[in-house]
């Protein structure tokens, strides 16, 4: 895997990125919007989005976001093929979560992704550099 430079808009509150997940049975490629969250230990995907893309069967309606939190993890799933910041990963385990809808995102990309790479975030240039370790 090569060194990849991913541009982002440095004037936003968070680093937003678009990434892709390929469904193993259909081969269809799904585009997701997420934010880089270096304070999150694990990557979390919206349960609603995972259902819509066919990666899980249903949303657990009984799970609610606890007061004071913006996400609520409640399960795990494996994404067979995902491309984040231009880097391809196979069999990437992520948390299934309720995400606060006001964020307008599909996922939080956490440290479990970034621990696989040498990462440089350059706010002045507005880009994130990932290079495999």
Q: Are 46 and 107 in contact (CB under 8 A)?
A: yes
Q: Is the pTM of this model over 0.85?
A: yes
User: Which CA distances in Å does 46 have to 5, 13, 68, 101, 113?
Assistant: 26, 20, 18, 9, 17
DSSP secondary-structure letter at 65?
P
Residues of the chain with pLDDT > 90, as a percent, come to: 78
* 4-61+69-132 classified as CATH 2.40.70.10: yes
Report d(CA 57, CA 39) in Å as an integer.
29
Q: Does residue 68 surpass a pLDDT of 80? A: no
User: What is the bridge-based pairing of β-strands 71-84 and 4-7?
Assistant: unpaired
Sign of CA dihedral 19, 36, 107, 3: positive
pLDDT confidence tier of residue 1, bands split at 50, 70 and 90: low
């Amino acid at each position: 895997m090569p060194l990849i430079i991913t541009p982002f808009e440095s004037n936003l509150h968070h680093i937003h990125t678009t990434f892709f997940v390929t469904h193993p049975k259909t081969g269809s490629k799904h585009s997701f919007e997420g934010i880089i969250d270096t304070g999150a230990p694990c990557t979390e995907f919206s349960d609603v989005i995972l259902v819509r893309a066919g990666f899980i069967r249903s949303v657990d309606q009984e799970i609610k976001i606890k007061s004071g939190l913006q996400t609520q993890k409640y399960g795990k799933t494996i994404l067979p093929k995902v491309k984040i910041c231009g880097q391809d990963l196979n069999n990437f385990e992520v948390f299934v979560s309720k995400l606060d809808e006001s964020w307008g995102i599909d996922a939080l990309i956490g440290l479990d992704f970034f621990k696989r790479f040498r990462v440089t975030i350059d706010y002045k240039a507005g880009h994130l550099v990932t290079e495999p370790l």
